[in-house]
């Protein structure tokens, strides 16, 4: 998934909190090893190498790709994990830390419309996933959200009082916060870096996606990692960033990506129609609100 993570565990027992935090680190590293496209031995990399043939994967990866296909279908294809070839064509062909952000990139022609998830088969009975021949996945975005969900749920199942898991900006909170008053998450403005708002919740997810990070290419030909599935190019939707609040981080990640691609008005309507809430920041810095965001602001 190629990102950093932070875990906060709350419990009256310092030893229990320390154990849960250590377990969370091990779990996140294991999920990274399964889902990163930058690790040749990951399950995602194996799937991409043998697209067209069924491949046995772990239960976690079956769940991840089930969620990915569901997200693709429920957003009308605006969220689409089959963008790997488009990302590579744009120059994002290695871990972002290894890219020269100002290097001359290949012409921004893109790879054309991405193939979509219509032919992806997740067979739970056999335990396999089959990608259509020539289809390749980048599951890093939804992987971050789903990893945050899994780690938070497993920490709570171990008996701790509360937990906050932040995987590359995909935040999942459950249970007691350190101050006993609920978890507070700062929503950062993608252009100014200031705070849009502080949102408060006891159990749920806050996910932000924006075009102002993971940017590369020379002046006049800047690219970002949020691909429009219809063109295979970096999306130019009129938005600088989207922050979504939903029950689970994987779903908030899906909606944030889909809303960004859809643009200000259509993106806000998409989020609201799914019962979630969001801040959408236009290219000029204007902040729009979708859904019931007032319920999360003190």
Q: Give the separation between CA 91 and CA 224, rounded to whole angstroms.
A: 10
pLDDT at residue 107, rounded to an integer: 54
- Structural domain count, the chain: 1
- Which CATH number fits the domain that encloses residue 44? 3.10.520.10
pLDDT at residue 89, rounded to an integer: 87
Q: Nearest Cα to 296, choosing from 202, 164, 181?
A: 202
CA dihedral 141, 147, 149, 151 (to 10 degrees): -160
Q: Nearest Cα to 82, choosing from 236, 222, 250, 227?
A: 227
DSSP strand pairing (233-234 vs 227-228): antiparallel
Does residue 76 carry a pLDDT above 60? Answer: yes
Alpha carbon 247 to chain centroid, angstroms: 14
The encoded tokens of residue 119 equal: 């032919």
Report angle CA 174, 179, 182 to the nearest 5 degrees.
40
Does residue 104 carry a pLDDT above 90? Answer: no
pLDDT digits (tens, 9 = 90+) for 24-53: 999 999 999 999 999 999 999 999 999 999
Domain assignment of residue 52, given as a range: 5-296
pLDDT at residue 99, rounded to an integer: 61
- Please state the rounded mean pLDDT for residues 85-112: 69
pLDDT digits (tens, 9 = 90+) for 278-293: 999 999 999 999 999 8
pLDDT at residue 52, rounded to an integer: 93
pLDDT at residue 218, rounded to an integer: 75
DSSP strand pairing (277-282 vs 233-234): unpaired
Q: Coil, strand, or helix at residue 279?
A: strand
DSSP letters spanning 28-40: HHHHHHHH-TTST
pLDDT at residue 112, rounded to an integer: 82
Does residue 105 carry a pLDDT above 60? Answer: no
Q: Give the separation between CA 174 and CA 127, rounded to whole angstroms.
A: 30
pLDDT at residue 213, rounded to an integer: 84
pLDDT at residue 106, rounded to an integer: 59
């Amino acid at each position: 998934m190629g990102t950093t993570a932070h875990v906060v565990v709350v419990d009256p027992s310092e030893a229990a909190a320390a154990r849960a935090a250590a377990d969370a680190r091990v779990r996140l590293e294991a999920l990274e090893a399964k889902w990163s496209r930058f690790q040749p031995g990951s399950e995602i990399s194996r799937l991409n190498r043998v697209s067209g043939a069924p491949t046995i994967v772990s239960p976690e990866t079956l769940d991840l790709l089930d969620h990915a296909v569901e997200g693709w279908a429920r957003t009308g294809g605006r969220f689409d994990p089959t963008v790997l070839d488009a990302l590579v064509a744009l120059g994002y062909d290695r871990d972002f830390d290894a890219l020269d952000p100002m290097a001359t990139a290949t012409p921004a022609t893109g790879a054309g419309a991405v193939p979509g998830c219509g032919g992806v088969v997740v067979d739970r009975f056999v335990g396999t996933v089959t990608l259509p021949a020539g289809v390749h996945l980048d599951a890093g975005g939804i992987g971050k959200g789903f990893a945050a969900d899994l780690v938070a749920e497993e920490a709570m199942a171990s008996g701790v009082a509360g937990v906050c898991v932040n995987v590359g900006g995909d935040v999942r909170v459950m249970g007691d916060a350190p101050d006993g008053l609920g978890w507070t998450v700062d929503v950062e403005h993608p252009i100014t870096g200031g705070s849009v708002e502080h949102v408060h919740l006891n159990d749920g997810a806050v996910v932000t996606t924006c075009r102002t990070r993971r940017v590369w290419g020379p002046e006049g030909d800047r690219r970002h990692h949020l691909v429009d599935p219809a063109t295979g190019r970096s999306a130019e939707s009129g938005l600088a960033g989207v922050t979504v609040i939903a029950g689970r981080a994987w779903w908030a990640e899906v909606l944030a990506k889909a809303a960004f691609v859809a643009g200000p008005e259509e993106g806000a309507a998409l989020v609201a129609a799914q019962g979630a809430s969001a801040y959408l920041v236009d290219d000029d810095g204007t902040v729009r609100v979708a859904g019931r965001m007032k319920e999360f602001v003190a």
